[in-house]
Amino acid sequence: MKKINYIPEIVGETTDVESWLMRAGLRFSDLGDDAASIEIRRQWREYQAAVHRCCVTLHQPPSGIQLSGDYASLRIPGAALTNCAIDRLSSRPKSLD
């Protein structure tokens, strides 16, 4: 049966690192100095550059655009990494400070 009041998933982009990390179930405090964390930080910079270019080109706010094509993998942190690396990040003990 079809849902009558279907609300589509919000598909726009973000400029907030915490919101971006939440797409992969991560928090900023999960990141450390290991290779996976360094790669995720690099991906964040690449993602932000792509979002900025699209916003300028399309004259839209980040929430009004959606990356696709070659940039689609940047939407979710660690998309270029193996699931193993993300799992290792997620299972790391959390700091109490």
Instruction: Give the pLDDT score at 10.
Output: 53
CB 45 within 8 A of CB 97: no
Query: What's the CA gap between 19 and 76, in Å, rounded?
Result: 10
Six-digit token pair at 1?
């049966």
CB 55 within 8 A of CB 31: no
Q: Which residue ranges of the chain lie beneath pLDDT 70?
A: 1-10, 79-97
Query: What's the CA gap between 47 and 91, in Å, rounded?
Result: 24
Verdict on whether the full-model pTM lies above 0.85? no
- 44 Cβ partners below 8 Å, 6+ apart? 17, 20, 77
Instruction: Give the pLDDT score at 78.
Output: 86
